[in-house]
Amino acid sequence: MGLIEQAAKRLEELKRAGVEVPVAGDVATSNATVVAEPAVPSVPERAVRSRAEAQGPFRDRPPVAQEAATSAASVPQVGPEEPQRRSRLVEIDLQRLAAAGYVTPTAPRSRLADELRVIKRPLISNAQGRSAAPVRAANRIMITSAVPGEGKTFMAVNLAISVAMELDSTVLLIDADVARPAIPDRLGIASEMGLLDLLTRSDLDVADVMLRTNIDRLTFLGAGTPHSRATELLASEGMERLVEELASRYPDRILVFDAPPLLSSTESRVLATHMGQVVVVVEADRTPQARVTQALATIEDCPVVMTILNKIERSEAGSYYGYYGGYGSYGQ
C-alpha cells in the first residue's frame, strides 16, 4: 500500500475513533510553504484512555511555581508564604522575527498564519480534550522530521506562537534538540539554563529556568547548559519524569517540543513515547519517501501523528490538491 493510501486509511480510522484531524480542503495555498497533510495516525486503545489517567503519578502534585499561574502580561501574586520564584522575562524582537518569515502577534494576518491555523486547530482541539475521543497526553506535542534540516524549528516556533495567539491557549515551547539548540537564535534571545540543567541539578525548579516572553501566553524552556551526555539525558528516565511533571503541573498548557530528527539518533524516538501528538515535518521534493516511511514506523505507537509537507513550491491557487495527490511519490 502506498503512503497516500496508508494515510487515507489511517485518517479514516482516526476519524472513526473521533480524533480531530486537519481537513485537507481547509488548507490555504501560498508560497509560505507550510501545508498540512492528512494525519498518519495509529489508533491504538491508548487513544481512548482518559486524560487524568494519562497524567500519571504527578497529577495530584500542586503547582509550586508562581510562573504556573501567570501569563507574560500579568502581575505576580506572591504571598508571604509562597516561594519568590518567578521566571525571567525576555524580550523577543517581533519586527525581526516577522522579517525572518515567522508569524507574530503584531502581524497576525498572513498566508502562513492562515495555514498554521489549519494545522493547529486539530492539535489544540485534541490537546484541550475537545475531540470526540480523548487522546492520551494530547497537550504534549513534538515536532520532528525524518532527517535534519526539514524545518522542525521553523515549524515549532511558528506553531507555538500561533497557538499562543489563540485567546485561551497558553504554550510552553521547549528546545529539546539539546545537541543543536536553535530556538534562542531564531527568537533573538539569550537562554543559558534550561532542560539539561533541570535533568542534572535537583536544586533547580522549572520556574528558575523557564523564560516568559513578551508574546502573551508564550513561555520558553531552552536546551540548557551544553552537556557531554546531552542526548543520553534526553532519552533518560529523568526526562520522562520531567515531561510528566511539566505536563501535569501545567495541565491547561500546550507543550511544544522542538525535537531532533527521528532517523539520526534514537533519543527523539524515546521522547516520542512520552508525547500525545507528533508532527512530522517533511521537506517537499527532498526527503525520500522510504525515509519518511521509516521515520513514521519508529513512532507508530504515538496516538496522533500528523505529517506536514514543508517548503512546497506552489505556482497557482488550489495546487495543494496536486501535492496531496502526489504525496506518495515525492523525493524518489
Sites of contact with ligand ATP (CB under 6 A): 33-34, 101, 145, 148-154, 177, 180, 182, 261, 310-311
Q: What residue 150 binds from ligand ATP, Mg ion, none (CB within 5 to 8 A, per partner kind)?
A: ligand ATP
- Of 64 and 147, nearer to ligand ATP (C-beta) is 147
At closest approach, how far in Å is the CB of 258 from Mg ion?
Answer: 6
Q: What residue 104 binds from Mg ion, ligand ATP, none (CB within 5 to 8 A, per partner kind)?
A: none
Is 197 in contact with 225 (CB distance < 8 Å)?
yes
User: Distances from the Cα of 215 to the Cαs of 103, 157, 248, 268, 325, in angstroms?
Assistant: 11, 12, 23, 28, 38
Is the torsion defined by CA of 108, 109, 115, 117 positive or negative? positive
Cα 165 to Cα 117: distance, rounded to the nearest angstrom: 10
Q: Residue 64 corresponds to which cell in the numbers above?
A: 509550586
Q: Which of 136, 152, 186, 274 binds Mg ion (CB under 5 A)?
A: 152
- Of 43 and 156, nearer to ligand ATP (C-beta) is 156
User: Distances from the Cα of 114 to the Cαs of 109, 189, 268, in angstroms?
Assistant: 7, 26, 29
8 binds Mg ion (CB under 5 A): no
At closest approach, how far in Å is the CB of 31 from Mg ion?
Answer: 21
Least Cα distance to 29 among 325, 315, 332 occurs for 315
- Of 14 and 312, nearer to ligand ATP (C-beta) is 312
- State which of positions 49-108 bind Mg ion (CB under 5 A): none
182 binds Mg ion (CB under 5 A): yes
At closest approach, how far in Å is the CB of 324 from ligand ATP?
Answer: 17
Is 90 in contact with 190 (CB distance < 8 Å)?
yes
CA–centroid distance for 16 within its chain: 24
- Of 147 and 235, nearer to ligand ATP (C-beta) is 147
Q: Residue 327 corresponds to which cell in the numbers above?
A: 504525496
- Of 47 and 280, nearer to Mg ion (C-beta) is 280
At closest approach, how far in Å is the CB of 143 from ligand ATP?
Answer: 8
At closest approach, how far in Å is the CB of 115 from Mg ion?
Answer: 19
Range in contact with Mg ion (rule: CB under 5 A) among 100-108, 181-189, 248-256, 298-306: 181-189
Q: What residue 34 binds from ligand ATP, Mg ion, none (CB within 5 to 8 A, per partner kind)?
A: ligand ATP
Distance in Å from the first CA to the final CA of the chain? 16
Q: What residue 267 binds from Mg ion, ligand ATP, none (CB within 5 to 8 A, per partner kind)?
A: none
Is 222 in contact with 90 (CB distance < 8 Å)?
no
Range in contact with Mg ion (rule: CB under 5 A) among 20-28, 51-59, 180-188, 298-306: 180-188
Phi and psi at 174, nearest 5°, equal: -120, 125
CA angle 255–261–266, rounded 5-degree value: 95
Cα 168 to Cα 156: distance, rounded to the nearest angstrom: 19
- Of 7 and 259, nearer to Mg ion (C-beta) is 259
At closest approach, how far in Å is the CB of 102 from ligand ATP?
Answer: 9
At closest approach, how far in Å is the CB of 306 from Mg ion?
Answer: 18
